[in-house]
Amino acid sequence: MAVLAYSLGKREINQHFTIKNAKLISLAAVLLLLVFHITSRYYGGRDSCEWLLSRGRYLGEDVWQPYGCMMHKYKSIEAKTCLAEKRVAFVGDSRIRQLFYSFVKIIDSERKEEGNKHEDISFEDKSYSINVDFLWYPEANNSMKERLISWTHEASAKPDVIILGAATWSIKLHGGSAEALQQYRVNLTAIVGHLVKLAEHGEVYWVLQDPVNEEVLSENRKMITNQQLELYNEAAVDVLNSSKRNGKSRVRLMAASRQAALETIIKSDDGLHLPESTRNGAMILMNSVCNKILRPIDGSCCQTLRPPNLLQKLSACFFLGSAVVFVVFHLLGNSRHRRHVPPDVESLEEKKPATAAVPLGPKAPFQALCRMGIIMGYFYLCDRADMFMKEQKFYTHSTFFIPLIYIFVLGVFYSENSKEAKLLNREQTDEWKGWMQLVILIYHISGASAFIPVYMHVRVLVAAYLFQTGYGHFSFFWLKGDFGLYRVCQVLFRLNFLVLVLCVVMDRPYQFYYFVPLVTFWFVVIYTTMAMWPQILQKTANSGGMWHFGVLAKLLGLLMFICFFAFSQGVFERVFSVWPISKLFELNGSIHEWWFRWKLDRFVMIHGMLFAFIYLVLQKCQVLLEGKGDGLFSAKISNLLLFLSVVSFITYSIWASSCKTKTECNEMHPYISVVQILAFILIRNIPGYARSIYSSFFAWFGKISLELFICQYHIWLAADTKGILVLIPGNPSLNIMVSTFIFVCVAHEISLITNDLAQVVIPKDSMALLKRLGAMGILSLIVLLVSRVSQPTPGV
């Protein structure tokens, strides 16, 4: 009865929730979200600078998250570069002095909080001509006004950035009287005009008062209450907002540090001053001042939109042109297209039609390009336009492990009988790719790379993908012997189409999407190894056992080739730094990232090839028992291998947990990752019942794993993977659910578009294919030349 209910439940879900319906829902959601964000920007009138300065929340205990944007953590060299030849002035009381010291410590971490308490303090970095001064003005009075007037008259001494704040001394000296508050308002009114003049040629910030911990205040400060501070803050906001022009105040109010202090003032020793570890104001200020200058990719607050470069404009014209042609074909009534492929109700997979598909008509490629253009527009809005919000990642064990448990429960719920029980059959490899991809996605969005044990296990998953590359392509060439140009171009197109489009639309280098260059490189290596003389295939090896040693000799030669490059970094860098090859492997002008990625998993592909060879030979010799329900080996051997596999899993996890640094772990990874991969294969395949079932849920994701991996960069994560895309602000859980739903639908649609275009771009006729390749070569050369004159994308 339970099994029947389980089966009926799955069927009921899938009958009403097909992938087509899901895509329609996601399209409607995107349109509604666009309307929401455009309306909120138009009527709310706030930009990311105001978000940064006005509000936010804590992620954990000490990571401040501004509302709707990402805050970059500035290093000393970055701060010096930004503030070179600038003067910064902090004007106010002891709280502003604290802010001054925190700001200076970003520039020079060795600077100590020393100097007389009630005097001016100066900091200078002569190498960068940076001057940062603290000026002791504990009250907003005539003395402060005179200082501001002097700056308006002396252009040479005028600071580029001014940060002011005062109130506690006014409360303390006058006992929190109503007359003192009224005088504070009058004094600010007299000052604000001069602040506005200074803001015309620089940046001026007024810092609202942080709360106090009234319980630990000394007796002579007991009159400084949170109620009094709130009244003074209200007065400052009223006066400064009265100076607004066109709805915006030239003098910026800094309220975010006050909101942060609401949660951290309890840690204060004296109840008035925040401990150094909880001061976020200086980093908020640095982001407000420097983000628009340095434009760090993970600092989206206060950044203005970068205009699209020439290639991006040309790509937009290309997609628009394709849409126009599609509309013309549609109006002319040219509708010849492939027959619709019905979805499988149970697994949401597309069944292969029983009869041959109708050839694609002339309208079909333009329709595919039109769909791709709409999707690329969404990519651009998510990660290049100031449309949606972004937030930084923050790792906790719950943000990684709870979603992990959830998806594995879903995976088990959608378990089905497999069509065959062979080792690593197609359904099983799709399942393997699917659950690995989902784990990697959770790993990325949760920021779990900060936790070394998780980092190392995910490194094994990436290695397992490359293992499958070696296994799959070796098996194909060994069994089929198809080394034709059509096959090669089909593989390369399906691997690279989306990435090449994103390189143009998102203005990113090819190496940025590191996994695709890695898989492409190893495919070319496998193809070259198998295609070069002598071509040894299974049918060749069947004629004589010595041919098997020929395959092993080829693999040994490939291993020596890999070892030579792995231990000759200079040679490696010289080879891959040659133009135009360097355009494929450079990231930010260096091939260091490519060297790191290549070296990290340099052996696993050859492990996959060797495993495929051994398995196919054993299968041919009928050594393995691959019937449904049969153990892969005899009972004794199966139990021994299962025991060793479980022990290796546990041993690896203990080792990964004991690693102190990623560098230490990565040194060992190329040599031991294969043990974990083989252990999983054996555990998954030795028991006959395990080979006879698979998860259609994981297998569905496995079919679009490449698209999922690439699309996450811009429409699930944000700021080129540094942050998280925020479609629904204020509700992180709902935001993740909605953005994930749209992201998966987009990835699936791109997979279909790639398959459609592959049929058009890669014809089976050899002469037509050569002509296409020639045209693509010329187009690639033009793109390379245009990219040289286009504005490069700076990053920090």
Rounded to an integer, what is the distance from CA 636 to the centroid of its chain?
A: 47
CA distances from 365 to 752, 755, 760 (A): 12, 11, 7
The yes-or-no answer on residue 273 being catalytic is yes
Q: Which of 108, 174, 273, 344 is catalytic?
A: 273
Q: Are 396 and 60 in contact (CB under 8 A)?
A: yes
Give me the helices (H) in 546-634, please: 546-566, 569-576, 581-585, 592-600, 604-620
Q: What is the DSSP string of 726-785?
A: ESSTT-HHHHHHHHHHHHHHHHHHHHHHHHHHHHHHS-SSHHHHHHHHHHHHHHHHHHHH
Q: Which of 270, 568, 658, 780 is catalytic?
A: 270
Is the Cα dihedral 108, 114, 118, 121 positive or negative?
A: negative
Q: What is the DSSP string of 201-226?
A: SSEEEEEPPPP--GGG--GGGTT--H
Tell me how far apart the alpha carbons of residues 633 and 791 are, in angstroms, rounded to a whole number.
Answer: 61
Rounded to an integer, what is the distance from CA 362 to the centroid of its chain?
A: 37
For the chain, give the number of residues. Answer: 796
Q: Which token pair is 553?
A: 């000799």
The yes-or-no answer on residue 790 being catalytic is no
| 445 phi, psi to nearest 5 deg | -75, -25
Hey, which residues does 130 pair with through a beta bridge?
125
Using a 10 angstrom Cβ sphere, with 0-12 exposed, 13-18 middle and 19 or more buried, the burial of residue 117 is exposed
Q: Which token pair is 139?
A: 């009250």
Q: Is 534 left (phi over 0), alpha (psi -120 to 50) or beta?
A: beta
Tell me how far apart the alpha carbons of residues 190 and 187 are, in angstroms, rounded to a whole number.
Answer: 5
Taking each helix axis as running N to C, give the angle between helix 732-761 and helix 363-383, from 0 to 180 degrees, rounded to the nearest 10. 150
Those residues whose C-beta lies under 8 Å from the C-beta of residue 38, and which sit 6 or more positions away, are: 387
The yes-or-no answer on residue 270 being catalytic is yes
Q: Are 750 and 375 in contact (CB under 8 A)?
A: yes
Those residues whose C-beta lies under 8 Å from the C-beta of residue 461, and which sit 6 or more positions away, are: 436, 439, 440
526 C-beta neighbours (distance < 10 Å), count: 22
Tell me how far apart the alpha carbons of residues 490 and 476 are, in angstroms, rounded to a whole number.
Answer: 14
- Report the greatest alpha carbon distance in the chain: 105
- Residue given tokens 């640094």 in the structure block: 661
Hey, which residues does 87 pair with through a beta bridge?
131
Tell me how far apart the alpha carbons of residues 49 and 337 are, in angstroms, rounded to a whole number.
Answer: 50
Alpha-carbon radius of gyration of the chain: 31
Q: Which of 94, 243, 582, 787 is catalytic?
A: 94
Query: Mind telling me the catalytic residues?
Result: 94, 270, 273
